[in-house]
Amino acid sequence: MSLKILSHITSFNIDMQKNQLQNAVVHPLASNPASPVAGQIYYNTGSGDLFYYNGLTSTWVSSAGVTSIVAGNGITVTGTNTVTVTNATVGYASTAKSASTVTLTATSASRQNFTGTATQALTLPAIATLYVGWSVTIINDAALGNINVSAAGPIGIGPVAGGQIARFVCTALTGAENEAWNVLYEGSYSATGSDMLVYSNGPVLTAPDLGTPTNVVLTSGTGLPIVNGTIGTLTVARGGTGVTTFTANGILFGNAGNNLQVTAAGTQHQVLLAGSGGTPAFGALNLSQGAAVTGTLPIGNGGTGSTTGSITGSGALTFTAGGTNSNVTLVPTGTGSVNVSSTKIINLAEPTLATDAATKGYVDSVAQGLDAKQSVRAATTANITLSAPQTIDGVAVIAGDRVLVKNQSTNTENGIYVAAAGAWTRSNDANTWDELVSAFTFVEEGTLNKDTGWVCTANAGGTLGGTAVLFTQFSAAGAYTASTGITLNVNDFQLAAGNVLSLHNLTNNGFVVRTATNTVTPRSITAATTSSGAGGGITVANGDGVAANPTISLKSFSAQGPSSAANTWTVTHNLDSEYLIVTLREAGGGKELVLADTIFY
């Protein structure tokens, strides 16, 4: 809200209640007004400065500080910002910096110039000897060496660094010495000529240290930071919290006293819960409370999707226990049972306790007089070294795997072993002779032995390590496959139709001939006939029905010729003359071949 002041209202004071005065113009005058009172202000239209009347000194004080510099004894003025001092006796003192402390008094020169690169200690006058507004300018004309300024006492005010100018103004005559000074850092300078002082930049104003007030009553303020000097607790009604401390990681909440409170910090996985009185606190969610959970958690999010105890999924349901070696327990009540609705429970392990469920294989083995053992991962196919991890029947056996060893060159070493990084040991269920008698185990993996069962043929009375330990295949759980030319009907292997050949149905002489792919046909061998129909020169002996092997021979005839030197020789034989081959040799000597004309008739 703004208040417009009418120009004719002059007979009473206006209390602004510490609110802002906006769009106000201070009384403009060309000179100081007559009959001033303390605190009166006006704007000088000639100099452009704002003046206030100091009732203690009965003087008008300009807001601009020094309004003019007048040349006098030892002082010359050049332009608007250059003052040349040629006489050191006029408000000026120059001191070489040293280890000795310089103590100023009320009558010390108002400008103290320090030369050299040493660090200088300087003490200001006691405020009781001064007046408000007394000031001194400290000039550090060297780039090195601070001037450490302190008040009359052990508490420092601040240093004047090398190349800086600082003005110290007394603001109070009582109270702490170090709180009665206003420090104005007026920038750096450069010296030219004889004691020439030239400002290189405008003055830098530093807020005075007003100390810590003992109490503050704030009725109105805009942009006022409250850091120190407050007492009490600001209530919620006043825009505060009503408390002075908060718990780290706590949650703010209100109470009936209109103050904010904070919960204790929670731990990981806890949630914010309402207590019996409604007061919030971190804790574990109790799902047994009806008000804690509403709705139904679906199976896809880890729930059951049901509020009646019946779980029905759209596909296969899998329950997996968390952690390591954790159980999944089904607990019927009263005389209730676990009902699987005439379906199978599959993938059981071999039982070890009397109350364990038994597999069909285990029951069959017991019925057949077998001593069923825990299954093995692999079984050997040849002699091995009984130590260290190795590959057996295509299986990379590692430490802890059970292995059926059945092919050792020294058969007393055969048995069921547990693989190790070093030497292997017999398994606990087969490390005595009695445990090997009729021992049966199932092989889980392997190129040749996968899904096969093996039984030990050892009889009672043997000695482990001294009596042979032999294993024979007892079963094969894997499926049989019929190869080309063979059909499989349940457990009955049969030759495919067309490939069955009964030897007793073979024709003469029992020859079998391949006539096509995967096809054979019985054939017979007969003697070739001549053009006249008579038997040829090949004879097949021991034909069909004869126990001896069939033989094949060529027909032949030989005769001794006449001893006289006859020109012709007639030979009577039983061979067919159509394909007859005649060879004539001398009877004695070298049986030389004789060439002669041969006539067949």
Q: Write out pLDDT tens, residues 219-260.
A: 555 555 555 545 667 777 677 777 777 778 778 777 766 667
pLDDT over threshold 70, residue 344:
yes
Instruction: Note whether 201 and 88 are same-domain residues.
Output: yes
**41: alpha, beta or left, given left = phi > 0 and alpha = psi -120 to 50?**
beta
Per the CB < 8 A criterion, the answer to whether 62 and 52 are in contact is no
Question: How far apart, in whole angstroms, are the C-alpha atoms of residue 586 and residue 581?
Answer: 17
Look at residue 420 and tell me if it is in a domain: yes
Give the model's pLDDT for residue 551: 67
281 three-state secondary structure: strand
Instruction: Note whether 55 and 176 are same-domain residues.
Output: no
Rg, C-alpha atoms of the chain: 63
Look at residue 5 and tell me if it is in a domain: no
Top-confidence range, 10-19, 147-156, 289-298, 352-361: 352-361
Confidence category of residue 201, pLDDT binned at 50, 70, 90: very low
Environment class of 39 (CB within 10 Å of its CB; exposed 0-12, middle 13-18, buried 19+):
exposed
Percentage of the residues of the chain whose pLDDT score is greater than 90:
17
413 three-state secondary structure: helix
Per the CB < 8 A criterion, the answer to whether 365 and 433 are in contact is no
Q: Residue with structure tokens 């030989």?
A: 558
Look at residue 302 and tell me if it is in a domain: no
- Please report, as a single letter, which amino acid is at residue 499: N
pLDDT over threshold 90, residue 412:
yes
Give the model's pLDDT for residue 365: 61
Look at residue 555 and tell me if it is in a domain: no
Tell me the pLDDT tens digit for each residue of 6-58: 545 555 677 778 888 788 888 899 999 989 998 889 989 888 888 889 888 88
Instruction: Note whether 42 and 140 are same-domain residues.
Output: no
Instruction: Note whether 199 and 87 are same-domain residues.
Output: yes
Confidence category of residue 95, pLDDT binned at 50, 70, 90: confident
Q: Residue with structure tokens 């009166």?
A: 40
Per the CB < 8 A criterion, the answer to whether 30 and 44 are in contact is yes
Q: In whole angstroms, what separates CA 269 from the centre of its chain?
A: 20
User: Running DSSP on this structure, what letter comes out for residue 301?
Assistant: G
Q: What is the 3-state secondary structure (H, E, C) of 19-74?
A: CCCCCCCCCEECCCCCCCCCCCEEEECCCCCEEEEECCCCEEEECCCCCCCCCECC
Tell me the pLDDT tens digit for each residue of 414-448: 999 999 999 999 999 999 999 999 999 999 999 98
How many domains is the chain built from? Answer: 3
Question: How far apart, in whole angstroms, are the C-alpha atoms of residue 16 and residue 24?
Answer: 13
Question: How far apart, in whole angstroms, are the C-alpha atoms of residue 39 and residue 58?
Answer: 11
Instruction: Note whether 152 and 185 are same-domain residues.
Output: yes
Kindly list the distances between the CA atom of residue 79 and the CA atoms of 83, 196, 197, in Å, as whole numbers in the listed order: 9, 13, 13
Tell me how long the chain is.
601
Q: How many C-beta atoms lie closer than 10 Å to residue 572's C-beta? A: 6
What is the torsion angle, in degrees rounded to the nearest 10, for the CA atoms of residue 117, residue 119, residue 125 and residue 131?
Answer: 60
Give the model's pLDDT for residue 199: 44
Question: How far apart, in whole angstroms, are the C-alpha atoms of residue 593 and residue 590?
Answer: 9
Look at residue 34 and tell me if it is in a domain: yes
Instruction: Among 178, 205, 232, identify where a domain stops.
Output: 205
Question: How far apart, in whole angstroms, are the C-alpha atoms of residue 521 and residue 506?
Answer: 9
Q: Which residues contact 41 (CB under 8 A, 6 or more apart)?
A: 26, 27, 50, 51, 52, 53
Tokens standing for 358? 């038994």
Look at residue 226 and tell me if it is in a domain: no
Instruction: Note whether 104 and 178 are same-domain residues.
Output: yes
Domain span including residue 110: 75-205
Q: How many C-beta atoms lie closer than 10 Å to residue 332's C-beta? A: 9
Confidence category of residue 459, pLDDT binned at 50, 70, 90: very high
Instruction: Note whether 115 and 193 are same-domain residues.
Output: yes
**In what side-by-side order are the strands of the sheet with 378-379?**
378-379, 402-405, 415-418, 425-426
Give the model's pLDDT for residue 89: 43
Look at residue 545 and tell me if it is in a domain: no
Give the model's pLDDT for residue 530: 54
pLDDT over threshold 80, residue 92:
no
Per the CB < 8 A criterion, the answer to whether 427 and 462 are in contact is no
pLDDT over threshold 50, residue 108:
yes
Q: Residue 236: what are its φ and ψ, rounded to 5°?
A: -60, -35
Tokens standing for 571? 């030979």
Instruction: Note whether 187 and 143 are same-domain residues.
Output: yes
Kindly list the distances between the CA atom of residue 302 and the CA atoms of 268, 299, 318, 319, in Å, as whole numbers in the listed order: 21, 5, 11, 10
Give the model's pLDDT for residue 383: 97
Give the model's pLDDT for residue 313: 67
Confidence category of residue 194, pLDDT binned at 50, 70, 90: very low
Q: Which residues contact 50 (CB under 8 A, 6 or more apart)?
A: 26, 41, 42, 43, 44, 62, 63
Instruction: Note whether 83 and 192 are same-domain residues.
Output: yes
Instruction: Note whether 53 and 165 are same-domain residues.
Output: no
Q: How many C-beta atoms lie closer than 10 Å to residue 377's C-beta? A: 20
Q: Which residues contact 546 (CB under 8 A, 6 or more apart)?
A: none
Least confident residue range of 124-138, 293-307, 341-355, 493-507:
493-507
Beta-strand runs (E) in 458-580: 471-476, 486-489, 492-495, 511-516, 519-523, 538-541, 551-554
Top-confidence range, 171-180, 185-194, 478-487, 546-555: 171-180
Instruction: Note whether 452 and 393 are same-domain residues.
Output: yes
Give the model's pLDDT for residue 450: 92
Q: In whole angstroms, what separates CA 508 from the centre of its chain?
A: 83
Instruction: Among 173, 205, 237, identify where a domain stops.
Output: 205
pLDDT averaged over the chain? 76
Residue 435, CB-side half-sphere exposure with 13 Å CA sphere: 13
Question: How far apart, in whole angstroms, are the C-alpha atoms of residue 453 and residue 450?
Answer: 9
Instruction: Note whether 58 and 134 are same-domain residues.
Output: no
Kindly list the distances between the CA atom of residue 45 and the CA atoms of 24, 28, 224, 277, in Å, as whole numbers in the listed order: 16, 6, 33, 72
Look at residue 280 and tell me if it is in a domain: no
Beta bridge partners of 159: 148
Instruction: Among 205, 235, 254, identify where a domain stops.
Output: 205
Specify the higher pLDDT residue, 73 or 432: 432
Q: Residue with structure tokens 């007048």?
A: 70
Give the model's pLDDT for residue 520: 66
Kindly list the distances between the CA atom of residue 598 and the CA atoms of 227, 532, 570, 583, in Å, as whole numbers in the listed order: 151, 21, 10, 10
Whole-structure pTM value? 0.29
